[in-house]
Amino acid sequence: MELSGLLSYAIYFGTMISIYGLLTLALNVQWGYTGTLNIGVAAFFAVGAYSSAIITGPQAGGYLGGFGLPLFAGFLVAALVCAILALGVGLLTLNLRTDYLAIATIGIAEIIRLVLKNEAWLTNGVRGMGDIPRPFKGWAEGADDLLFFIFAAALLLATYLFCEKIYNSPWGRTQRAIRENETAARAMGKDVLSFRLQAFVIGSAIMGLSGALYAHFTGFISPEAFDPLFATFLVWVMLIAGGSGNNRGAVLGAAVIWAIWSGSEIIISRLPETMITQAGSFRLLLVGILLEVILLTRPEGILPERLDMGGK
Amino acid sequence: MTLLHIDNITGGYGSVHILYDLEMKVGQQEIVVIAGPNGAGKSTAMKSVFGMLTIERGTVNFGGQDITTHRTEHIAGLGIAYVPQVNNVFQSLTVEENLEMGAYLRKDDFSGSLSQVFALFPDLKKKRAQLAGTLSGGQRQMVAMGRALMSGPQLLLLDEPTAGLSPKYMTQIFSIIRDINSEGTTIMMVEQHAKQALKLADNGYILVAGRNRHEGPGKELIEDPEVQKMFLGG
Amino acid sequence: MLLEVLQLVIYGLVLGSVIALGAIGVSLTFGILGFANFSHGDLMTFGAYCAFLFYSQLALPFWLAFPLALLATALLAIVFDQLIYRRLRSKDSVILLISSFGIALILRALIQIIWGPDNQVYASGIQMPYRFFDGSLRLKPDQLIILATTIVLMVALHLFLQKSKTGKAMRATADNPELARLTGINTEQVIIWTWVLGGSLAAAAGIFLGLDTRLHSGMGWFLLLPIFAAAILGGIGHPYGAIVGGLIIGVVQEVSTLFIEPNYKPAIAFSVMVAMLIFKPTGLFGQKKT
Ligand SMILES: Nc1ncnc2c1ncn2[C@@H]1O[C@H](COP(=O)(O)OP(=O)(O)OP(=O)(O)O)[C@@H](O)[C@H]1O
Ligand SMILES: [Mg+2]
């Protein structure tokens, strides 16, 4: 009992790390590679989750669904919808200075949050969407969680390998050149906007995959799960803690911060009764302080980027 | 007596070097002119005085004091004023407020300086309540110089004070510079109109690719055939 | 129809006052410290809850609770600056932005811990609105207080910025930080004053928002988008522009409810902002650097 409890917790833990690891890798492609500041991670995460849920879900009263397409199609559509959204947003805003871009992305996130809440015909509004197909159900008695974890981890690994490959390609070098000195990159004849756009779209598509994975893992999604501040913020802390620019750092950051995040739940559950209702706030406070401490003491993260080019 | 001594500095922006072993001296009450092609590092040399560069080697001395690592904010207080080449006025402030900012560090009554500046630049007096951002290029240049003079500096650094001005304005600015100098202010300036500027100069430096290429009294530099051929258009 | 629009314009001016007061601080900190402060909304929330503490919990009179809340918020802003932002000043402005994002979270968490997660109001009970034109035009006493106090605050701000040496230095620094430094302006001192102004005006904005609606821990964060929109509309670093921008965004948001679903009001602010950034990124009153 004890052991199996521990095991199932480990499986849950691993799956969550895979989901967040995907988000962190995606943000790394945008921020770490190119220096594109996306404060709307939660929006792409949510769009991915909802897209896949709608595509693969059963017919339910009152909102879009009933396509019943296979899981594979759900993931594909999730990535695609996010990519298209990113393309639109990017064409509109990527020419802006980084800080303006950040402001624009919270705007996008805000609008998507409003759509999720208000367009009940599409998303069932605040009541959320249930009955999202859970893959591997009934494949092996009592092991479907494990199978799901293996699937999630494989997706993470594949994404990691993909991200590493593009990082080390000439494309990745150009991205870093843009990040380090946009003017110089432009002078060298690089189409800065196009390169930025590509990284933004790729990153957003990966965020969509992560959203789909999350939807199929929990089986139920509602706007609350995609609180912009919370979902976006945690991913940022993960990336900065792990080391932006470094894919291994990104995944490591996701694991470490998720461990701290869930560890804090255990500590806080021991707090006196009266403070339990505030447990979430204490955890938020903890992660906020953690971010500041990292920024002040080790801004390059646990695993800093190994720069293959001189200077900053 | 040397007032400013840029002593063999090598440095630039971050890790990128722009200046190499640069050596310049400005004597008390002199006018020193720096000329050279675009991108030679003339503006960068001026910024080195104001603590705005990373200086790898060498020192900057002012009045016998080593100011190499002084912070930009503190340098104005030592009696140096600087008119940058671009963005050299507070656009959303009026002309008069720009001048007041120039006197920010002064504890004494600066109304005397204000009337002096208005005497030098009568145009500004008429436009004192107008926003600096709405002025013409030449008028802005006057505001910028006026602002610098308000601190009552010993040394005035001017980066291309006549850039983009009509010949008439240009002559006017040059004669004002001479007036300022004759009242005791030492001047170091970068000029593209090297010929006219060197005529005023006690000393000149020709900078190429971050190094001193030529130096000497202004008149001699004008005569120098190589300088003539390279920078003064014959 | 005309009265209906007029009513919305009045509501828009009330909302616009709140946005404008917030946008002044965002615009000044952006201009002077060079980063977009994502914690400004939560600073507003903090101010609103401070007033709740002094007025509703400690039962101080409102005329005393109000300035105390402004003071407390200004102090907190300075503490964050000295503790965190000051140490990051030499870094890329994006690092400061991310750090302000973290401070937003810390602030919100603290507010939830201290005052609990539930909604609050300053005083319960329903206010009878003043009615004009047979009741087709209404204005609550609180809204009148908001408009009047905003005017007082803006006049005070105006006098400070125009008449005092520090105020002028602040405008100069926001306009051109580098030129300010080499003119000898003590920028660290200007920064402290910027937080005093930005923090206290944020608190006023938060209090007014709480007065007009109710208090909850996300109230400021959700206003961040229109506030940034207002600051950008007015031109970063231009406090007067921020005021005009705030009033425009407020009115446009309210009037837009004639045509679109009220839930999508923030999308209007967003559209105005993006259009501005694309067509005239320096804002209505900003000028291109030469
Ligand atoms: N802020 C900066 N960061 C990095 N490099 C810079 C910066 N400012 C100037 N440079 C580089 O330093 C070099 C010298 O520039 P500088 O402005 O000193 O030239 P200049 O001689 O004043 O030219 P001009 O006659 O055009 O004013 C140039 O290659 C320029 O690209
Ligand atoms: Mg120059």
> Residue A311: pLDDT above 50?
no
CATH code, domain carrying C236: 1.10.3470
**What's the number of domains chain C is made of?**
1
In terms of C-beta density within 10 A (0-12 exposed, 13-18 middle, 19 or more buried), how is residue C219 classed? buried
Res A78 pLDDT > 80? yes
- Collect all residues of chain A within an 8 Å Cβ-Cβ radius of residue B14: 311-312
**Is C130 contained in some domain?**
no
Average pLDDT score over residue span A169-182: 91
B164 lines ligand 1 (CB under 6 A): no
Please state the rounded mean pLDDT for residues B84-111. 93
> Could you give the percent of chain B with pLDDT greater than 90?
63
Indicate the pLDDT class of residue A2, thresholds 50, 70 and 90. Answer: low
What is the chain C residue with the closest CA to B81? C183
Residue A310 is predicted with a pLDDT of 40
For the segment B98-109, the average pLDDT, to the nearest whole number, is: 92
Is ipTM beyond 0.90?
yes
- Tell whether pTM > 0.90: no
Q: Do the bridges between strand B186-190 and strand B31-35 make them parallel or antiparallel, or are there none, so unpaired?
A: parallel
Taking residues A33-58, report their average pLDDT: 93
CA distance B111 to B117: 10
Give the start-to-end residue ranges of the domains of chain B: 2-231
Contact assignment for B90 to C187 by CB distance below 8 Å? no
pLDDT for B40 beyond 60: yes
Look at residue A312 in the predicted model and tell me its pLDDT: 35
> Nearest CB to B133: which of C179, C181, C287?
C287
Place B234 in a pLDDT band, splitting at 50, 70 and 90: very low
We find that the CATH architecture of domain B2-231 is 3-Layer(aba) Sandwich (3.40)
- Contact call for residues A254 and A23 (beta carbons, < 8 A): yes
Percent of residues, chain C, with pLDDT higher than 70: 98
Instruction: Report, as an integer, the average pLDDT of C58-73.
Output: 96
pLDDT of residue A227: 81
State how far the alpha carbon of B172 is from the alpha carbons of B33, B167, B185, C10, in Å. Answer: 17, 9, 18, 55
Lowest mean pLDDT among A19-23, A261-265, A267-271, B186-190: A267-271
Question: Which pLDDT band holds residue C183 (cuts at 50, 70, 90)?
Answer: very high
- Which of B116-125, C184-193, C259-268 comes out lowest in average pLDDT? C259-268
Q: Is the CB of B204 under 6 A from ligand 1?
A: no
Is residue C288's pLDDT more than 50? yes
Q: Does A97 touch chain B (CB under 8 A)?
A: no
In Å, what is the CA distance from A147 to each residue of A33, B8, C67? 32, 69, 60
Query: pLDDT tens digit string along A127-145?
Result: 888 888 888 777 777 778 8
- Residue A311 at interface with chain B, using a CB cutoff of 8 Å: yes
Q: Are B78 and B30 in contact (CB under 8 A)?
A: no
The pLDDT value given to residue A229: 67
Domain extent at residue C252? 2-122+141-279
Question: Is the CB of B146 inside 8 Å of chain C's CB atoms?
Answer: no
Q: How confident is the model at residue C49 (pLDDT cuts 50, 70, 90)?
A: very high
Residue C245: predicted pLDDT = 96
3-state secondary structure chain B: CEEEEEEEEEEEECCEEEEEEEEEEEECCCEEEEECCCCCCHHHHHHHHCCCCEEEEEEEEECCEECCCCCHHHHHHHCEEEECCCCCCCCCCEHHHHHHHHCCCCCCCCHHHHHHHHHHCHHHHHCCCCEHHHCCHHHHHHHHHHHHHCCCCCEEEEECCCCCCCHHHHHHHHHHHHHHHHCCCEEEEECCCHHHHHHHCCEEEEEECCEEEEEECHHHHHHCHHHHHHHCCC
Q: What is the pLDDT of residue C290?
A: 47
Assess if residue C133 is contained within a domain.
no
pLDDT tens digits along C254-287: 999 999 988 888 888 888 888 888 888 888 876 6
Specify if C63 maps to a domain: yes
CA–CA separation, C241 and C249 (whole Å): 12
Residue pLDDT, tens place only, B175-227: 999 999 999 999 999 998 888 888 889 999 999 998 988 888 878 888 888 77
Question: Which is it for strands B16-27 and B155-159: parallel, antiparallel or unpaired?
Answer: unpaired
Q: Give the model's confidence band at C90: pLDDT under 50 very low, under 70 low, under 90 confident, else very high.
A: confident
Average pLDDT over all residues of chain B = 90
The alpha carbon of residue C58 is apart from the nearest alpha carbon of chain A, in Å, by 22
* Residue C22, pLDDT score: 97
Mean pLDDT, residues C77-91 taken together: 94
Q: What is the pLDDT of residue A308?
A: 55
For A155, the token pair is: 């997706």
Q: What share of chain C is helix, strand, coil (3-state, %, to 5)?
A: 75, 5, 25
DSSP 8-state symbol, C161 = H
Please indicate whether residue B225 or residue B89 has the higher confidence score (pLDDT): B89
- On whether residue C151 sits in a domain, the answer given is yes
Q: Specify the higher pLDDT residue, B169 or C23.
A: C23
C113: nearest CB among A97, A102, A278: A278
List the 170-229 stretch of B: residues with Cβ below 8 A of C. none
Interface of B with C in 67-106 (CB under 8 A): 72-77, 82, 84, 86-93, 97, 100-102, 104-105
B200 lines ligand 1 (CB under 6 A): no
Distance B43 CA to ligand 1 centre (A): 7
Query: Which of B51-55, B224-228, C100-104, C142-146 is predicted least confidently?
Result: B224-228
Start-to-end CA span in chain A (Å): 54
Closest CA to C188 of C201, C210, C173: C173
Closest residue CA from atom 5 of ligand 1: B13
- Closest residue CA from atom 31 of ligand 1: B39
| Mean pLDDT confidence for B84-95 | 94
- Asked if residue C226 has pLDDT above 70, the reply is yes
B61 CA to centre of ligand 2 in angstroms = 22
Provide the angle, in degrees to the nearest 10, between the axes of the packed helices A98-118 and C224-234: 140
CB of B37 shorter than 6 A to ligand 1:
no
Chain A residue closest to B13 (CA)?
A312
Query: Which has the minimum average pLDDT: A140-154, C59-73, C105-119?
Result: A140-154
Is A312 in contact with B16 (Cβ distance < 8 A)? no
Average pLDDT over residues A242-250: 94
Average pLDDT over residues B112-140: 92
Of C24, C34, C16, C31, the C-alpha closest to C160 is C24
